[in-house]
Every structure is written in C-alpha cells, then in structure tokens.
C-alpha cells in the first residue's frame, strides 16, 4: 500500500535550529489604544505558552503591525537577559506599540498584529544564567598599606630583580667553562664551549718543537759563522805576522854598526 502511494521508508529529520517563534492575529479595523493593548496582551500570553511547550526562551522581542492601508511595520528590542514568560514579554512589546501610537498621533488603525521572539535558546541556558559566577565570590581585600608604600615596594622589587639578573648571568657564564686534556702535552686546559682557547693551546703546543729546532739551527749557524770569522781573523793575523818577520830580518841585515863607518887613519 505504501509503495502504491509512493511513500518511502526514509525518515527525514529537520536538523536546522529554530531561529524565532511568533504569534499573530488578523482582526477587524481597530484604533482605540485600550483595544490594541488588550490584543497585544492576548498575543503575549499565547507566545509565552508556545515557548513553554517548546522549552525555549529568547532575548529579542518584536512586534508586527499591518495598517488598514496594508502597510506592514516591524519593531524589535533586545533585552539583556533571557525571557519566556508573559510578565517579561508584554512590557517590552507594549513599549514598542506605544512608540507607534505616538508617531501616528493617536490615530493608529490596525488590522493585524503579531508578537515574535528571536535569539532563542533552550530553557537550560536560562537556568545556567541564574547560577552565580566566580566573580561574585571574589571580594577585594582592603589595602593594608598606602599607595605610596605599595608603589615603593614595587619599585624595590623591580630593582632587586634587575640586580639579581647579572649575578645569575655571571654564574651561568662561569659554569659554561670546559676543561679538556691536550693530546700533545697532556696538560689540562680550561676553555669555553667553542674550544677557542683549547685550539689555540694545541696550535702553540704543536708549533713549540719546530720553534725550538729553528732556534737551535739559528744558534748553530751563528756559532759557525762566528767561529769562521774568528778563524779568518786568526789566519789574517798570522799572515800579517809572517809577512812582517822578513821585513824585520831584512831591516836587521841592512843595519850597520857604527864601527863600520869609522875608518882607521
């Protein structure tokens, strides 16, 4: 039978959240304020009952009116808390209707009126809004000291923190040192994390034998040169002496005695 009627077995559920709920009535032309207020009270009661059945509440109250000229007007007002009862809905709606009556200078003639509630939430949200918050339990304690004392204490605390910071930095810098053993001489060398001092020590340690060898070579060379110079000087002196001796001999041979110049008479 369901197949013949084209009725399927699929269940379609509406997942969209309800945004508003309203109640409106069409009536004969009405212009007296007391009649308009009575109709508005009736619509507010019906809306409150519908919201109670749906277990919802809201924050924005709107009224919809249609003039005898078929002109439609809508006004709304948002309240700071969630409402769902007639004693909360009707005063807000009456205030909006009074504004329209004043603008029409008491000659507002209607043929339709409606009341709507939007910004809907479940009634459980209304119960949560009545629960006390944490801020209500927080009580500010009276200040024991004057403002000048508290200000001085803050300045002192700030200065103490600034003075303590370099000490911590110095301690950290001291603890950052590293001690390593030189693989060449076996000496323990204190260095930083980058091993700059340690590398410098290794370079000096490795270059030290080469420097000593160069110094020995240079000293040996200088001694050889000096000894050579000394030998040359001695040879020159001996040669000079040897050359001088024959001259003395020849000079001695060339000299004559005084008796040689004396001839016998």
Which of the four pLDDT bands, split at 50, 70 and 90, describes residue 216? low
Lowest mean pLDDT among 2-11, 225-234, 249-258: 249-258
pLDDT, tens digit, 9 for 90 and up, residues 92-133: 999 999 999 999 987 899 999 999 999 999 988 877 655 555
Distance CA 145, CA 153 (A): 10
- Any idea which residue has 């004392």 for tokens? 149
For residue 84, what is the enclosing H or E element? none
pLDDT, tens digit, 9 for 90 and up, residues 31-63: 999 999 999 999 999 999 999 999 999 999 999
pLDDT: is 239 or 203 the higher one? 203
- Any idea which residue has 């000048």 for tokens? 148
Which of the four pLDDT bands, split at 50, 70 and 90, describes residue 2? confident
Which string of b and e fits 166-184 if b means at least 16 CB within 10 Å? eeeeeeeeeeeeeeeeeee
pLDDT, tens digit, 9 for 90 and up, residues 8-27: 777 766 656 788 999 999 99
- Any idea which residue has 């039978």 for tokens? 1
Q: What is the dihedral of CA 228, 233, 235, 236, to 10 degrees?
A: 140
pLDDT at site 189: 73
DSSP labels, 91-132 = HHHHHHHHHHHHHTTT---EEEEEEEEES-EEHHHHHHHHSP
Decide: 118 and 19 in contact? Cβ < 8 Å.
yes
Which of the four pLDDT bands, split at 50, 70 and 90, describes residue 172? very low
Q: Is the pTM of this model over 0.75?
A: no
Q: What is the CATH number of domain 20-126?
A: 3.30.1490.100
Which of the four pLDDT bands, split at 50, 70 and 90, describes residue 91? very high
Which of the four pLDDT bands, split at 50, 70 and 90, describes residue 166? very low
pLDDT: is 237 or 41 the higher one? 41
């Amino acid at each position: 039978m369901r197949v013949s009627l084209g009725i399927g077995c699929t269940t379609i559920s509406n997942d969209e959240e309800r945004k508003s709920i309203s109640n409106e009535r069409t009536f004969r032309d009405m212009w007296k304020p007391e009649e308009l207020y009575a109709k508005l009270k009736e619509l507010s009661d019906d809306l409150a009952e519908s919201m109670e059945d749906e277990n919802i509440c809201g924050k924005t109250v709107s009224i919809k009116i249609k003039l005898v000229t078929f002109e439609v007007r809508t006004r709304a007002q948002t309240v700071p808390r969630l409402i769902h009862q007639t004693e909360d809905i009707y005063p807000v709606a009456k205030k909006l209707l009074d504004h329209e009556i004043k603008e029409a200078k008491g000659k507002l003639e209607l043929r339709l009126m409606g009341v709507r509630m939007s910004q809907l939430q479940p009634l459980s949200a209304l119960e949560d809004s009545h629960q006390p918050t944490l801020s209500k339990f927080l009580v500010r304690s009276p200040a024991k000291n004057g403002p000048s004392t508290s200000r001085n204490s803050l300045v002192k605390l700030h200065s103490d923190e600034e003075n303590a910071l370099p000490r911590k930095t110095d301690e950290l810098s001291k603890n950052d040192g590293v001690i390593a053993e030189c693989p060449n001489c076996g000496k323990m060398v204190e260095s930083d994390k980058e091993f700059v001092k340690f590398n410098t020590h290794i370079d000096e340690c490795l270059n030290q034998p080469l420097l000593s060898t160069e110094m020995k070579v240079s000293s040996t060379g200088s001694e050889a040169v000096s000894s050579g110079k000394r030998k040359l000087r001695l040879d020159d002196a001996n040669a000079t002496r040897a050359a001088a001796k024959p001259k003395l001999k020849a000079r001695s041979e060339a000299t004559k005695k005084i008796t040689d110049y004396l001839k016998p008479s």
